[in-house]
Each structure stands twice: as C-alpha cells, then as structure tokens.
C-alpha cells in the first residue's frame, strides 16, 4: 500500500504550488461565468448553464489535467528527486500508481471547485440547483479530468526529461482538441476517395471519431442533460438522453459501441492504457 | 552474510563500458571506501545496487537481497545519499524527513535526526528551495539515517560541504559504524576516506584495481620512498635506466626523481646518476604516501584517456 504514501506526498507537494491555485481559480471563474450565460442572454435555465460550463470544461479540463500531471514522473527524473522517492521503499509501480492518484486528486479538487462555483451561480441566477444534472455533469467532468491525468502520467512515466514530456503533452492536446476535427474528413477520404461528408457512414468510422475522450465526454453530457440543455426561453427540467444521436449518420441499428455507456469504456481505456504503457517503459528505465 | 556482494557486474551505456566484471564484497559492519576518479564507474555501481540502473550482466546483492528483484526490501533496510539527487523545492526539510519516516513506516523523531546532521530547527521549517548545497547534503544524510539502517550507501557525501562539514560527516559515519552500521561510501578524494575506512576499493575505468585495508595499502607501498636529485645536467637516456629496486624514474628541469621500493635503491640511484656523468647538487627524500599510491592508480588512467 506504499503508493498511498507517494500519492499523499505528491498531493501535499502540488497544493503548495501557487501556479496550480491560479489555474484552479481561473477555471472556477470561467465555469461560473459560463453557467451564468443563459441567464444573461435569457435563453435557458440551470441545465443549459451546466451545458455551457461542460462545453468549456471539455477544452479547459484536458489542458489543466495535462499541465498538472505531465511532469509527475519526468520532472522528478530530470531534477533527480526520483532518487529520493525510489530510494525510499517504494517500488516503481508504487510511484506510477501513487503519482496517478495524487495528480487525479489535484484535478478533482479543481473540477469540484469549478462546479461549486457554477452551482452557486445556478442557485442565485435561476433559483434552482437542478441537482441531478449538476451531479452528473460534475461527475462526468471529473472523469474527463482523471482521463487526461492518466494520459499525462503515462507520458510522464515514458519520458526522462521535462522537454520530451512537454512535447508529447502538447502533441496530445493538439491532436484531441484541434486536429480531431479533421478525422471525419481523413476517414471519409480513405474510405471513398472523396470528401463528401453527406450520406451514411459505417458505424466503425463513428466509433473512431468518438474515441477522442473529449468527444466521448460530450456525448455523455448530452445524454445526461437531455432536452433541458436546449435553448428555450425559460428552460428548466431535464429529459431522457437522446435515444440514438447518430441515427442520421449510420445505416442500420446503432451498435453497442456507439451507445452512451460505451463512452464510459472509452474514457476508462484512455485513463488506464496510457498509464500501463508508460509504466512498462518506466519499469525498465535507467534513471 | 556480506552487506554488498557483486558478481561479474557489468554495465554498458551503448559503447561506453561504465562497469566491467566487478566482483566486490563488503562485509557486514565494516566501513568501506569506494575510491576512484570521476567517471570510474563508482556512481553507476551504486545506482545498480539501488536499482536505479539495470546491469547489462552479472548480479548485485545487498543485505542478501537481489538488487533487481527485491529493491524495496533493500531500501527498507538501507539509508542512501545518492549522486545527482534533487529535492522537493516547495517542501520543508522537516517534511522531507517525515516523508522518509512515513515511507519506511518507522516512528523516528525528525527533529532528532535533523539535529544530528546539524540542520537547525529554523532551517528545517523552511522550504528547501532556498537551501545551499551543504544544507541539502545534510538533509539527505538525515533522511538516510531514518529507520536506523543496517547499511548506509553514501555517494560522494562530502560534495558541497566545507571542511568543517566534511569532518562532521566523517564523525557521523564513524559513530554509526561504531554502533554496528555498515557504511559504503564513495569519494574521488582519498583524504576523506583514509581516516574512517576499514577497507578501500579503487575503481579505474569501470574495473576494481585494488581492494585492501588502509594498513595493507601502506604495506604494499612498503618502505617505498621517492628520492629527488638536483643535478647540473640531466644525462641523456637517464629515464630508461634500469636500476634494481627502482620502480619509476623520471627527469625534468634538472631534477631526477626515482621511486624506490627498498632503501638501498636510493644509493644505487645516486651512484648510477654520477656514473652517467652528472654532478649532484642536492638530495631530497620523501616517504611515499597513500596519496601517491592513489595517484599512481589514477593518473595512469588520465594519460590513457589523452591517448584515446
């Protein structure tokens, strides 16, 4: 259980970082503002506010989680403090797991702080918390944060220097946040030789498109907020998730891997697999 | 049971042979000085003992545990001061020691350990980002003492310490050794280990070139001495003369220097130099020191390095 000691120390070390608190403060502020937007524009209620907050979190949380965790192990290898950490009776597995848990804790605190502000804004501006929607969006955003912590710790475990870890973290962010919009074009082109995005596509292509953790998160948020997140004057109560968000794009029945629950599998895979892959490199590395 | 035992230990980084076929045994309870110039393979050897680096071939055992299979068992029982360590800049010195106490699951008093290594209470509460190298070195030594380890592995413990601090480290090492702790420490300066070590090993180019007690090393120098003759002119070819009992003969700037293995050789040197036609103006003799021996083992390496 020695990973617990590593996680606790890592968390204690991270919360002493002023930069981290700056980021958390900024994040909370932005979450509060986006939750307020429907009220300002008079286009909806608390649920729509959470939807806007989730849209913002979809970009901000990955960046924050990557920044908070990409140096978890690589930074210690570069500074040499890893020799004190591993010089204590912790195995390399304890270090990988402890770092993941510690940094996930940091990101969870940040996400919670952001949503507490968003929730307060909702209560003040809309007179309701919409507790079900509030809790589900908070939990989903926390899951997105943990996913990117997994990716970042994986990167950090696989690299020996600050600069390499940073390059990979930036690369991941660019691919998922920016280049991903090109994926439908690329796949359609490879499949048909043309760039006609109309018509139906094979279900597997949609799976590839949804395999971006941010996309998976987005589908889950849509399902959780349902029709309450639509822009209607007044807004209000939530509804059931859309039965089949891809019905218009794919031919035939929706396969299991496009259902909402499978998006949780995608997030889980992006959390665990990078950590495992990174650890396998870290385990055999000369420090 | 030996505290440290390596068999055929070899580590290559690409083409660089950092450690070659190292067979080293450190007995329980002894203070062992691991000597050699920078780059001789001392730190790599220590890194393998601590499982920071994986050997290319051979095995290393520490306190009876295989270094690669059971690193956590080893770290539980060993205190270390590694080479090239870093600290957690935002945490205080006391927090560092507390972390090690928690990690080893012991109930030491951090204040007592910090006091022992000479870090005062006020400094201990500060974030270590502002520590000098000497303070950092004391702190890590304090962390190494957590849990009353059976074995201390210290890589260049005097680095960054002023002479006073270095002397204090030697005192701590001696006290611990008197209490039964095995101490294995490396240094590139013989003077730092001479006073505290039971035995020393000398590394050169990844190989162990000598292992002996300090007394044994003195004996191996024997009654060896250096004789220096100041002459009016250095005869041609004097350096290639072969004289019984003389191991080394050099000449420069009107001075002929010979290392003599037995006392009678001194007279032989004087006689031969005069036979060669030089007039001797002054004679100086000096007993060989351990430093000369250490230099003999290591200077050689540097000239090879120049050739390569």
How far apart CA A260 and CA A241 sit, in angstroms, is 9
Q: Are B194 and B265 within one domain?
A: no
Average the pLDDT over B33-46 and give the result. 91
- Chain A touched by B102 (CB under 8 Å): yes
Question: What tokens were used for B202?
Answer: 């000398």
The pTM of this model reads: 0.84
Average the pLDDT over B157-180 and give the result. 86
Q: Are B7 and B44 within one domain?
A: yes
* Residues forming beta bridges with residue B33, ordered by sequence position: B185, B200
Query: Roughly how many angstroms between the first and final C-alpha of chain B, as a whole number?
Result: 41
Which of B187, B219, B251 is a domain's end point? Answer: B219
How far apart CA B184 and CA A110 sit, in angstroms, is 46
> Residue A16: what pLDDT?
87
Distance from the A91 Cα atom to the nearest Cα atom in chain B, whole angstroms = 6
How far apart CA B261 and CA B222 sit, in angstroms, is 7
Q: Are B192 and B238 within one domain?
A: no
Q: Are B139 and B262 within one domain?
A: no
Alpha-helical (H) ranges within chain B are 42-49, 71-77, 93-104, 110-116, 121-125, 133-144, 163-178, 190-194, 214-221, 264-275, 290-307
How far apart CA A211 and CA A12 sit, in angstroms, is 34
Dump pLDDT digits (tens) for A259-273: 999 999 999 999 999
CATH number of the domain where residue B234 is located: 3.30.70.100
Task: Tell me if B109 is assigned to some domain.
Answer: yes
Instruction: Tell me if A90 and B88 make a contact (CB, 8 A cut-off).
Output: no
Distance from the B96 Cα atom to the nearest Cα atom in chain A, whole angstroms = 9
Q: Which residues on chain B are in Cβ contact (under 8 Å) with A102?
A: none
CB A43 within 8 A of CB A231: yes
How many domains does one find in chain B? 2
Q: Which residues on chain A are in Cβ contact (under 8 Å) with B48?
A: none
> Which of A17, A79, A286 is closest, CB to CB, to B86?
A79
CATH number of the domain where residue B57 is located: 3.40.50.300
Q: Residues 70-99, chain A: which have Cβ within 8 Å of B? A: 76, 79-84, 86-91, 94
How far apart CA A245 and CA A215 sit, in angstroms, is 13
Reply yes or no on whether the pLDDT at B307 is more than 80: no
- Bridge-based pairing of strands B207-213 and B182-187 is unpaired
Q: Are B49 and B163 within one domain?
A: yes
Identify the weakest region by mean pLDDT among A97-101, A266-270, B198-202, B257-261.
Answer: B257-261
Task: Tell me if B124 is assigned to some domain.
Answer: yes
Per-residue exposure over A12-27, b if at least 16 CB sit within 10 Å of its own CB, e if not: ebbebeeebeebbeeb
- Chain A touched by B139 (CB under 8 Å): no
Burial of B220 (0-12, 13-18, 19+ CB in 10 A): exposed
Task: Tell me if A155 is assigned to some domain.
Answer: yes
pLDDT-derived band of residue B44, with 50, 70 and 90 as boundaries?
Answer: very high
How far apart CA B187 and CA B36 sit, in angstroms, is 7
Q: Are B81 and B168 within one domain?
A: yes
Q: Tally Cβ neighbours within 10 Å of residue B305.
A: 11
Suggest the residue from A4, A89, A97 to mutate for an interface test with chain B (most B CBs closer than 10 A).
Answer: A89
pLDDT-derived band of residue B104, with 50, 70 and 90 as boundaries?
Answer: very high
CB B96 within 8 A of CB B139: yes
> Which of B53, B73, B102 is closest, CB to CB, to A5?
B102
Q: In 3D, which of A270, A263, A241 has the Cα closest to residue A145?
A: A270
> Which of A12, A80, A90 is closest, CB to CB, to B85?
A80
> Which of B54, B80, B143 is closest, CB to CB, to A284?
B54
**Which residues have CB under 8 Å from B47's CB, separation 6+?**
A286, A287, B53, B82, B83
Query: Does the CA dihedral A56-A61-A67-A68 come out positive or negative?
Result: positive
Question: What tokens were used for A265?
Answer: 């599998």
**Which residues have CB under 8 Å from A135's CB, separation 6+?**
none
- Bridge-based pairing of strands B225-231 and B207-213 is unpaired
One-letter-per-residue 3-state SS of B106-169:
CCCCHHHHHHHCCCCHHHHHCEHHHCCHHHHHHHHHHHHCCCCCCEEEEECCCCCCCHHHHHHH
Average the pLDDT over B8-36 and give the result. 93
Q: Are B110 and B193 within one domain?
A: yes
Q: Tell which wins on pLDDT, B186 or A199.
A: B186
- Chain A touched by B153 (CB under 8 Å): no
Task: Tell me if B274 is assigned to some domain.
Answer: yes
Name the CA dihedral angle for B40, B43, B49, B51, rounded to a multiple of 10 degrees. -120
* Residues forming beta bridges with residue B257, ordered by sequence position: B228, B250
Dump pLDDT digits (tens) for A40-59: 998 988 999 999 999 999 99
Question: What tokens were used for A115?
Answer: 């949503």
How far apart CA B60 and CA B50 sit, in angstroms, is 10
Task: Tell me if B306 is assigned to some domain.
Answer: no
How many domains does one find in chain A? 1
> Which of B53, B80, B104 is closest, CB to CB, to A287?
B53
> Which of A82, A88, A284 is closest, CB to CB, to B103?
A88
Dump pLDDT digits (tens) for A206-222: 999 999 999 999 999 99
Q: Are B23 and B92 within one domain?
A: yes
CB A242 within 8 A of CB A226: yes
Task: Tell me if B297 is assigned to some domain.
Answer: no
In the numeric block, the tokens 């009220």 are attached to: A39
Which of B170, B187, B219 is a domain's end point? Answer: B219
Q: Are B101 and B8 within one domain?
A: yes
Q: What backbone torsions phi and psi does residue B283 show, to the nearest 5 degrees?
A: -130, 130
> What range defines the domain where residue A171 resides?
3-282
Q: What backbone torsions phi and psi does residue B170 show, to the nearest 5 degrees?
A: -65, -35
Q: Are B202 and B137 within one domain?
A: yes
How far apart CA A49 and CA A33 sit, in angstroms, is 9
Residue of A nearest to B52 (CA): A287
Task: Tell me if A75 is assigned to some domain.
Answer: yes
pLDDT-derived band of residue B125, with 50, 70 and 90 as boundaries?
Answer: very high
Q: Are B135 and B250 within one domain?
A: no
Q: In 3D, which of A38, A53, A45 has the Cα closest to residue A235?
A: A45
Which of B188, B219, B250 is a domain's end point? Answer: B219
pLDDT of chain A along its 287 residues, tens only? 699 999 999 999 888 888 888 988 999 999 999 999 999 998 988 999 999 999 999 999 999 999 999 999 999 999 999 999 999 999 999 999 999 999 999 999 999 999 999 999 999 999 988 899 999 999 999 999 999 999 999 999 999 999 999 999 999 999 998 899 898 888 888 888 888 777 788 888 899 999 999 999 999 999 998 866 666 544 333 344 445 567 678 877 888 999 999 999 999 999 999 999 999 999 999 98
CB B138 within 8 A of CB B64: no
Task: Tell me if A287 is assigned to some domain.
Answer: no
ipTM score here?
A: 0.84
Q: Which residues on chain A are in Cβ contact (under 8 Å) with B51?
A: 86
> What range defines the domain where residue B237 resides?
223-287
Q: Are B261 and B118 within one domain?
A: no
**Which residues have CB under 8 Å from A218's CB, separation 6+?**
A54, A58
Q: How many CA atoms lie within 13 A of B109 on its CB side?
A: 5
Alpha-helical (H) ranges within chain A are 3-14, 18-41, 46-69, 74-79, 82-87, 92-126, 131-158, 162-173, 183-192, 203-210, 213-225, 260-283
> Residue A159: what pLDDT?
96
Distance from the A164 Cα atom to the nearest Cα atom in chain B, whole angstroms = 19
């Amino acid at each position: 259980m020695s990973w617990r000691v590593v996680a606790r120390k890592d968390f204690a070390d991270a919360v002493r970082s002023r930069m981290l608190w700056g980021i958390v403060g900024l994040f909370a502020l932005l979450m509060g503002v986006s939750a307020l937007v429907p009220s300002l524009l008079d286009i909806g209620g608390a649920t729509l506010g959470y939807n806007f907050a989730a849209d913002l979190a979809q970009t901000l949380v990955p960046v924050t989680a990557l920044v908070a965790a990409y140096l978890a192990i690589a930074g210690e290898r570069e500074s040499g403090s890893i020799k004190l950490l591993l010089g204590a009776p912790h195995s390399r597995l304890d270090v990988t797991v402890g770092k993941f848990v510690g940094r996930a804790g940091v990101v969870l605190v940040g996400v919670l702080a952001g949503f507490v502000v968003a929730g307060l804004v909702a209560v003040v501006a809309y007179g309701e918390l919409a507790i079900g929607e509030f809790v589900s969006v908070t939990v989903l955003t926390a899951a997105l944060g943990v996913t990117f912590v997994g990716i970042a710790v994986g990167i950090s475990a696989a690299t020996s220097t600050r600069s390499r870890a940073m390059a990979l973290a930036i690369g991941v962010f660019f691919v998922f946040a920016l280049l991903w919009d090109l994926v439908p074009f690329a796949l359609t082109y490879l499949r048909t030789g043309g760039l006609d995005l109309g018509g139906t596509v094979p279900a597997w292509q949609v799976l590839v498109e949804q395999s971006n953790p941010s996309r998976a998160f987005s589908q889950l948020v849509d399902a959780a907020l349902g029709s309450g997140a639509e822009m209607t004057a007044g807004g209000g109560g939530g509804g059931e998730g859309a039965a089949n968000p891809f019905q218009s794009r794919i031919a035939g029945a929706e396969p299991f891997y496009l259902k909402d629950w499978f998006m949780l599998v995608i997030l889980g895979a992006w959390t665990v697999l990078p950590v495992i892959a990174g650890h396998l490199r870290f385990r055999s590395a000369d420090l | 049971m030996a505290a440290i035992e390596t068999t055929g230990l070899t580590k290559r980084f690409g083409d660089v042979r950092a450690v070659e076929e190292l067979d080293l045994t450190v007995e329980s309870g002894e203070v062992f000085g691991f000597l050699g110039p920078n780059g001789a393979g001392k730190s790599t050897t220590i890194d393998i003992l601590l499982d920071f680096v994986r050997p290319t071939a051979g095995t290393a055992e520490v306190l009876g545990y295989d270094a690669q299979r059971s690193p956590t068992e080893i770290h539980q029982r060993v205190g270390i001061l590694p080479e090239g360590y870093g600290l957690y800049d935002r945490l205080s010195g006391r927090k560092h020691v507390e972390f090690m106490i928690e990690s080893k699951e012991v109930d030491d008093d951090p204040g007592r350990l910090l006091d022992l290594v000479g870090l005062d209470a006020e400094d201990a509460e500060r974030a270590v980002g502002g520590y000098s190298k000497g303070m950092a070195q004391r702190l890590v030594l304090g962390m190494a003492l957590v849990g009353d380890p059976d074995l201390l592995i210290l890589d260049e413990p005097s680095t960054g310490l002023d002479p006073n601090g270095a002397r204090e480290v030697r005192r701590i090492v001696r006290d611990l050794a008197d209490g039964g702790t095995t101490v294995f420490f490396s240094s590139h300066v013989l003077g730092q280990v001479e006073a505290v070590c039971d035995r020393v090993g000398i590394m050169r180019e990844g190989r162990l070139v000598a292992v002996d007690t300090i007394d044994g090393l003195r004996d191996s120098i024997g009654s060896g001495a250096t004789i220096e003759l100041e002459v009016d002119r250095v005869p041609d070819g004097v350096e290639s003369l072969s004289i019984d009992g003389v191991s080394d003969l050099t000449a420069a700037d009107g001075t002929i220097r010979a290392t003599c293995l037995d006392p009678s050789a001194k007279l032989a040197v004087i006689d031969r130099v005069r036979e060669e036609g030089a007039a001797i103006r002054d004679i100086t003799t000096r007993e060989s020191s351990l430093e000369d021996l250490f230099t003999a083992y290591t200077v050689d390496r540097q000239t090879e390095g120049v050739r390569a």
